[in-house]
Amino acid sequence: MKGLILAGGKGTRLRPLTLNTPKPIVPVANEPFLLYQVDLMRSGGIDEVILSLSYQPRKIEDLLKDGTDYGINIRYAVEGTPLGTGGAFKNAEEHITTTTVVFNGDVLTGLDLSAVIARHKQTGAVATIVLTPVDNPSAYGLVETTPDGQVQRFVEKPGPDEITCNTINAGVYVLEPSVLQYMPKGEPYSFERGLFPTLLERNELVMSYILDKYWIDIGTPSKYLEVHHDILAGRFMSTRVPSSAFDRSAIAANVSIDAKSILDADVTVRSGALIENSVIGRNCKIEEGVQIVDSVIWPGTTLDAESRVKGAIVGKGCYVGRSVNLRPGVVLGDKTVATDFSQL
């Protein structure tokens, strides 16, 4: 069995964080996001993963190489132009010779992948779609199923009177190679609007698996920040989440760093600083009296004396000047300079 991760998107919803860093490798708790998905593939017994790339592929290839360092064999299928979810799967056709697990490149989940694969094999379906329940179904496309889990219908962003269920596509699939026959080659094509409705029209068996574990799409700044809060609160558990590399025993007596926060190696924290419920990347400098709360700071950033950062995301290599105030919702792209006394 193989895995395919759809990692070719430009991450436009997550800009400016993705201008220099492809979305699949943005840091999540100081680890490249893609590694969480690789770990999940491995948990399902998959030992070969195909990465479908398009946007800044070299940065991803340079990081993961052949996968040896992560206990898995990685191959690459690079698109000249973005082909959509289904088009990317078709583009990797030469590698897809057996049942294949497919992940959207922006989904973080605690899914029991082995259970999904077992259900897929048991039912004999050509496709199994993992579904997750949501509180507000009107914002998504719904997937209707029979009581035994067979997919019946897709409803795109329903109106209030069209809501018949609360289950949406979770962006995780198990597919048989036979579905490739229904897909055009070399042109944009969608699983959601193309392949899956076609399979139903052709009376192919499409099954569902209802997810009862953690699930989130990290594709927007607010969701990206939310996943860090969930990790720090223990709502998402993974062996991939590092413990803090910062030596708390060596901090000054008047420095306050709560037990939840994660600080990477070589972070400098000066006297009077306060860090709560936050993730700080490698080689950051936190000067005197800085306060960082509910925030994510990428590597190589300096926060000058008395600055305040709350509910914000700060990209790589930024300089946040003296007495700057970054309020909730602020997102700074890489190498941003916020001059002294700025209020953002």
Query: How far is residue 228 from each of residues 95, 234, 244, measured CA to CA in Å?
Result: 34, 10, 14
Give one DSSP letter per residue of 254-288, joined into a string: T-EE-SS-EE-TT-EE-TT-EEES-EE-TT-EE-T
Angle value at C-alpha 323, between 322 and 326, nearest 5 degrees: 110
Q: Is residue 166 within 8 Å of 186, Cβ to Cβ?
A: no
b or e along 328-341 (b: 16 or more beta carbons within 10 Å of the residue's beta carbon)?
eebbbbbebebeee
Residue 269, both tokens: 């924290």
The catalytically annotated residue of 157, 185, 213, 335 is: 157
In three-state secondary structure terms, 73 is: strand
Q: Does 59 qualify as catalytic in the annotation?
A: no
Query: How far is residue 76 from each of residues 45, 49, 290, measured CA to CA in Å?
Result: 20, 8, 43
Q: Which residue has tokens 């960082």?
A: 292
For β-strands 107-109 and 215-217, DSSP reports them as antiparallel
Catalytic residues: 157
